[in-house]
Structures are given as structure tokens and as C-alpha cells.
A and B are shown apart, each in its own frame.
Chain A
Amino acid sequence: MEETSVQPTHVHAPPQGFLWKHVFSLDHKVIGKQYYALALVAVFTGMFLSWLMRFHLVWPNTPIPGLQFLSKVGAPGGLITPEYYLSLLTMHGTLMVFFVLTNAPFAAFGNYFLPIQIGAEDMAFPRFNMMSFWTTFLAFLVLMLAFFIPDGPPISGWTAYAPLSAVGGDAGPGLAWGQNLWAISIAIFCAGSLLGALNFIATTIDLRAKGMTFMRMPICTWAWFITSCIALLAFAVLLPACILLILDRTAGTSFFIPSGLVVSDHLQPHSGGSPLLWQHLFWFFGHPEVYIAILPAAGIVSHILINSMRKPLLSAKVIIYSMMSIGFLSYMVWGHHMFLSGMNPASGLAFSFPTLTITIPATIITLIWIGSLYGANLRMDSASLFALGFISMFVTGGVSGFFLAQPSLDIYLHGTYFVVGHFHMVMGVAALFGVFAATYFWFGKMTGHMMNETLGKVHFWLTFIGTYCIFMPFHYLGLVGNIRRYSSFVNDFMGPLMPLHKFITIAALCTGAAQFIFLFNLVYSRFKGPKAPDNPWQGTTLEWTVPSPPPWNNFGDTHPIVYHDPYQYGVKGSKGDFIMQDSPEQATGGVAG
């Protein structure tokens, strides 16, 4: 068995034929690109859904031409019904959280670069790796199927709170087969993610090249490693939760449904379940999921920033330890999503403290990023812009967390747009900025062609300013008390807020449109971009020692040997101001880091 040997040679034979090269490939690089492609499809679908929602919120009586063909029942005459709005909302959240924010920064780039960065030929279990992608792909198909069944997609939000999600079709459209498909899809997704996480962990522990000690791994490798440990525990809880939900829905069990519920005039045949059980299980997964999205992005940004600054971070170790403590604390804070759920009020205090404490390692990381800029020789290309934009977003999304970590403020802010603004900033946009930075940074390595820098910069400015225009006002709306997940604003207080809503919608339409610049750049550069050199950014880590794109077995028939910490920048090397990890030369006059 190749898997058991410490230094495997040729974990699998070079693939032959189109199908085995590009579709059912065992190559971690192809699988990484497949994850990326899936995330790309999901993110544009999710964005399109958000357009429909934003449009409907401010122009509820203007038909959207052609939408009736997508759903005759959900959008009669092109006008979105309340339930179809919630379907769009549920699918937007599910697509973005699972298929974009989990797939892109973690599964896609992790798959592609983790083995290369530690000097391995492939993942520890290439066949498992292929399985985890195709499992995830199946989950995606099952989820998307919900758009095309008569029942329509579910309307219970990406959090699928029971009993709304558990009692079935009585509770509304989309809650019969639509919700079944959702639960099945997420269960499949969990299985795929568990396989992937195990593979990442085994690969990192077992397949490091000679000289690649743990502390010599790049920060993004560390981030993927820590993230896979988090994912292993988190998805292992969501999987059984989904199974229990499916049982409640189809087998007549009552895990989440208490007795005496009358839904649509039907007394439900259940008793003894607890709606809070679902919330506990879901958020035990759900909060760590935030870090599954953001830690890989933080790792990628650190990696890129160091390269752009031409100097190491003040302390990579402190960043790694901070990431670990964030990962650890992430399991002690899930209750802050449930301050008002009817838990014992004392538990509100118990969950509040670790939540507030998590800001300490997060602040340390941020301060190290900002502090490291001092004395840098900062290169401002697209990757660098997005990395710096990430820091700005991370700060903005982080400070609003201060409010929501306090149960007393949750009494007012819970369930408002303030929450929506917070998590879109910190989990959505920040993580996507990490993905954009990674794309501009590594595209050349992955495809052999460089991306267009001018288009990249235009894309950055429109996206950076646009996302602030969209998500900053969400906080203001929340402060006034604008409730989230409303398909229409029929409340008394809404009138004066409509101009702000219109502003957000216009900003969302424009910022969304700007993403097509990125898509064009991606496709155009893939075929017409200038040829990428092996090391376009004068990087030090192992991915820059191999050709662009790397051969199927990454390092050819050689085994890299690692001599240094990953970030030997700001030194006098034979090639410039840096020394590569596999170069035996010794640094002179380095920066104190």
C-alpha cells in the first residue's frame, strides 16, 4: 500500500485519456480545480439569487421578465411570491456557505497547494480525494434539483430551524420534497467534507518532504491543516443532525418536534422532541463553519501579503498559535447564536465570555498583519490589493461581532439586518476577498497563464467600494430595527428606510455586474493570458520551485529537500531579495521577524 509508506513514490500512475485526466482524475491539482469550478458555478448562482431578492425588496410590483419560466408558481407573471423569496434566500445561503465558502478557500486551493507546499506528490489518499469531490458534486446536484420539482426549494433558511424544517409540507411550500432534498444534499456534503478533511490531515502529517518540519510549513498550509481539524469535528456533528432531520421528516420520529403542534389546521402526529436540540447541533457545526470559511482565507492572505511586502510577518508562529486558539474556542461559542432561544439565561453569560475572548487572537492576527506593513516594500498588484482589502473587511466584520457577542445587545440586534451585515462582511466578503487574492496570485501556477492585471485592479476597486456600499448600510438598518428574512417591508417603520434599501440594491446590482469582469478575466486569461513563469512573484515556498503548471507528479522524479523557514524575504539571496525553501544557501542580513 502506497498510503502507508513515509515517502511514497508514484502514488498513482500518470493518467491517460481525457476522462481520467480531467474528469475522474486522482490528481489533487485537477480535483482542486474541479472544486474551484464548482464554487464558481455556485457563487454566480448564489449572486444571481441575491440580485432577485434585492430587486424584489425595493421594486416588489415590477415583474422580472422571464422569471415565470423558472418558476410558474413562485413567480407568477414575473412577480416573486413571499415563499419564493424565502426559497431564494435559503438557496442563496446554502449555496454560499457550503458550496462557496467551504469549497473555494479550503477545498479548492487547499487541494491544489497543500501537497505541493509540503513537497508531496499527491494527497495521502488520492482515491478518497476524488470521491470527496464527486460526493460534493452530487450534493450540489441534489440541492439544485429543488429548483425543478413542483414543491420548489425549501423556505426555512440555510439554518433550517426545526420544527419549521421538520414537520413537512403542512408548514408551507418547499417544505415537503424541497426540504428533503436540502437535508439529503447537506448530509452528502458532510460526508464529502469529512473525507476531504481526513485526507488533508493525513497528508499534512505523513507526506511532508525531508526537512519540512511543522514550523517550516507556510502559513496557508497551517491554516488548511487547522481548518481540516475543525471541519472534521464540525461536519461530524452536522451529518447526524441531518440524518435525524430526515428521520423526523420521513420516518415519523420526533427528535425535533414536540407534541401539540397545529400547523395549517393539522395536529402534528409527533411528541417529545425538542426544537432546541436542532439549534444546538446546527450551531455546534455552524459556528466553527465560520472559521472553516475564514481561516483558510486568513492563511492565504498572510502568505500573499508576505510576498507582496517582501518581508516576513512579525511572527508567523504567533499567527499560527492564534489560529489554533481560534479553532479551539470556536467550539465553545455556538450558544451565542441562541441567546434568545429560551436557553437558561445563565448560559447566555457562559457563551458570551468565550465569544468575546475570541476577539483577542483575532486582534493579534490583525495587528500582526498591520504592524508587519511597517517598513515593507509593498507591491500593489491585484493579489496584494485583495489581500489588503481582506484585512479591512476582516476588521469591519470583526468589530460588529463585539455587539452580537453580548446577550444584552442581542435583545435588540438579534434577527435584524445588523446580523446580516456582520456575517456577510466577515464570513462572506472577507473570505471571498481571500479567494480573489488567491486566484490572482496562483492562477499562473494553476493554468500556466497569467491573469490580466488591469482588469484585476478594476475588479478590485469596484468590488471593494461596492461591498462597503452594500454591507455597511446593513448595519444602519439593523440599528433602526429592520428585521431580516422579510420578503416585503409592510412594517410601519419601513417607509423612511426605503431609500437606503434602494441604495443597497443598486450597489448590489453594480458590484455583482463587476464580477463578470473577473469571470471574463478568468476565462480569457486561461486561453490568451501571457505564459506564466515558474516563479512570477519571486516567492520562496515550494509551489514556486515547480513548473507552471506543475506536472502530474508535482516534482517530477525528484524529492524536494527543505532547508529553511518558509519566508526568507528581505535577505541577500543569489536570485534577489529572497531565498527559496529548497535552496541550501544561507541568509545574510535578514529582517528581524
Chain B
Amino acid sequence: MTVKHVFLAAFATFVAVSVTTAGPGSGTISGKITYEGTPAKPKSIDMSKEPSCAKQHPTPITTETVVTGPGNSLANVVVYISAGAPDEPPPSTSANFDQKGCQYLPHVLAFQVGQELKISNDDQTSHNIHPLAKINREWNKSQPPGTPPIIDKYDKAEMIPVKCNIHPWMHGTFAVLKNSHYSVSSDDGSFKLPNLPPGKYTVTAYQESYGEMTQDVVIAGGETKTISFVFKAKPY
């Protein structure tokens, strides 16, 4: 450990503490993601070429590019503060991305710049992980069953489509973000960004098929603001 490392670690701790202790007087942005129009029908995935995966899904799974819920809600939408919050150092926890039953779990994985990304293969077959990064370095690695997890990290913020070259139906997204204020909408489309100091923020919602929407939000101390995003769905 050099002096520089000690300094950086101390600085990181300081920032982390200051973020988490923003408790009293900090605000929250929450809300719901919905769509209007007719979204494409999810298509069932035929995994017959990979029997060890196919038998894990008694009823075939469907495509996950658009996942809808009751009340026109949209799941798997990344909501994050794109402007107004400072960049933050990564947490010490790792973001886990699993391959199970020839499916990515989770389908959308949000994590921070510099955060450890841990990719594991729970299947009996080889997988290939090919994040199609444009700003970051693109890589393409296979992971046979029984090999150790792939550990990596990203240096720049980017929405990265991820695919498995061996199983073409496996697609997912890495959302690499600059700060810890993010949320991936749940099955009912809800999201929550807590612990925000008072200020003016730009909130962005990203859906892998429909793209981005943004809103500016001003919150005062202790306030909880509710906002909503409505994406336009297309049948095809």
C-alpha cells in the first residue's frame, strides 16, 4: 500500500459515509414505469438444441426484451440519476450475473463504474459472454461448466447489450452507472431512488427496446417526489 492508496481508500470511505449519512434531510424519488399502446407479444424460446437447459423450463420461457405487468407496468427498466449527483466510487460488493437454464439472471444488471462484476455459470453447458460495449472495451469469453467465475469491471458509464454467442436467444443488459442512485423497475413497474440530498436532478429511464426518457426533478430536504415514465409501445 502506497501513500496514494491509503489516501484513496480514506477518501472513498469518507464519500461513502457522507452518502449513507445523508439520511435525515435527504429526499426520495419514486414512481412507476408504464407503457401506452400495444407491446409486442413475448415469443416463447425453443431451447431444444440445449437439452440440459430445456428440461429446466417445463413451460418454455419467453423473450424478455419487453416485460409487462398488470396495469400496463413495465419491468426491467433502469432508472438512474444521470445529472445532478456527483460520481461515486464503487461499493465493495460485487454485482452478480448468473447463467442458469440458458437464461441471464438478472436480465438487466445495474452496477457502478469500477464495481466488481462477477459472472457465474450454473449450467452443465459452456456459455459465452459477449458484452457488446462501444465506449468500454469489448470482450468475448467462453465459460465452460466448472470454471471459476469471470471477474471484470468497467471504467466508463454505458448501457451494454450482452449476448451469449453459443445460445443466440440469451440476451441481457449491463447498465454501468456513475453513482449509486439507481433502481431497476420491479414486476409492477415501481422504482425508488432514496437518500438524495436536496437539489435538482435529471432522472433517466432506460428500456432496452424503447430507449431513454428523462425528467428533471427538484427535491427539497426530506421530500419524497413521485414521478412516472410512460413509454410508447409498438406491436412490432
Contacts and interface: CB of A to CB of B under 8 A. Distances in A.
Interface of A: 60-61, 73, 76-77, 79-84, 169, 172-173, 264-266, 488, 490
Contacts of A79: 144, 146-147
Best-buried of B141, B144, B146 by chain A (most CB within 10 Å): B144
Best-buried of A60, A61, A73, A76 by chain B (most CB within 10 Å): A76
Nearest to A173: B140
B126 A81 contact: yes
Contacts of A266: 132
Contacts of B166: 82
Interface residues of B, number: 20
Given A488-B126, A490-B125, A77 B148 contact: yes
Contacts of A173: 140-142
Nearest to A56: B144
A83 B128 CA distance: 10
A264 B132 contact: yes
Contacts of A80: 144
Given A77-B147, A172-B165, A490-B125, A83 B142 contact: yes
Contacts of B163: 264-265
Interface string B162-179: 010110000000000000
A396 B144 CA distance: 38
A52 to B, nearest CB: 14
Best-buried of B142, B150, B166 by chain A (most CB within 10 Å): B142
Contact of A82 (B130, B132, B142, B161): B142
CB-based closest 8 A-B pairs: A81-B142, A76-B147, A77-B147, A79-B147, A79-B144, A77-B148, A173-B140, A82-B142
A76 B119 CA distance: 13
B143 interface: yes
B144 A264 contact: no
B144 to A, nearest CB: 5
B118 to A, nearest CB: 13
Nearest to B52: A490
A488 B166 CA distance: 13
26 contacts: A60-B144, A61-B146, A76-B144, A76-B147, A77-B147, A79-B144, A80-B144, A81-B126, A81-B141, A81-B142, A81-B143, A81-B147, A82-B126, A82-B128, A82-B144, A169-B140, A172-B140, A173-B141, A173-B142, A264-B130, A264-B163, A264-B165, A265-B161, A265-B163, A266-B132, A488-B126
B140 A81 contact: no
B145 interface: yes
B5 to A, nearest CB: 25
Interface of B is mostly: loop
A77 B141 CA distance: 14
A6 to B, nearest CB: 60
A189 B163 CA distance: 37
A61 B147 CA distance: 9
A172 B166 CA distance: 11
B51 to A, nearest CB: 9
A217 to B, nearest CB: 54
Nearest to A175: B140
B143 A76 contact: yes
Contacts of B165: 172, 264
A265 B125 CA distance: 23
B65 to A, nearest CB: 13
A84 B163 CA distance: 19
Contacts of B146: 61, 77, 79
A478 B143 CA distance: 29
Best-buried of B130, B132, B140, B150 by chain A (most CB within 10 Å): B140
B208 to A, nearest CB: 12
B150 A76 contact: yes
A79 B126 CA distance: 11
B141 A73 contact: yes
A76 B148 contact: yes
A76 B166 CA distance: 18
Best-buried of B126, B148, B163 by chain A (most CB within 10 Å): B126
Contacts of A77: 146-148
B33 to A, nearest CB: 25
A169 B130 CA distance: 11
A84 B141 CA distance: 10
A172 B163 CA distance: 12
A81 B141 CA distance: 8
A84 B147 CA distance: 14
B137 to A, nearest CB: 10
Contacts of B145: 61
Given A79-B147, A82-B144, A264-B132, 12 more contacts: A61-B145, A73-B141, A76-B144, A76-B147, A76-B148, A81-B141, A81-B143, A82-B126, A172-B140, A173-B141, A265-B163, A266-B132
B185 to A, nearest CB: 24
B8 to A, nearest CB: 27
Contacts of B148: 76-77
B84 to A, nearest CB: 33
A523 B130 CA distance: 47
A266 B165 CA distance: 13
A80 B141 CA distance: 12
B71 to A, nearest CB: 32
B132 A265 contact: yes
Contacts of B141: 73, 81, 173
Nearest to A84: B142
Nearest to A81: B142
Nearest to A265: B132
A488 B146 CA distance: 15
B108 to A, nearest CB: 17
A80 B163 CA distance: 21
A282 B150 CA distance: 38
A80 B144 CA distance: 8
A76 B143 CA distance: 8
Nearest to A266: B132
A337 to B, nearest CB: 27
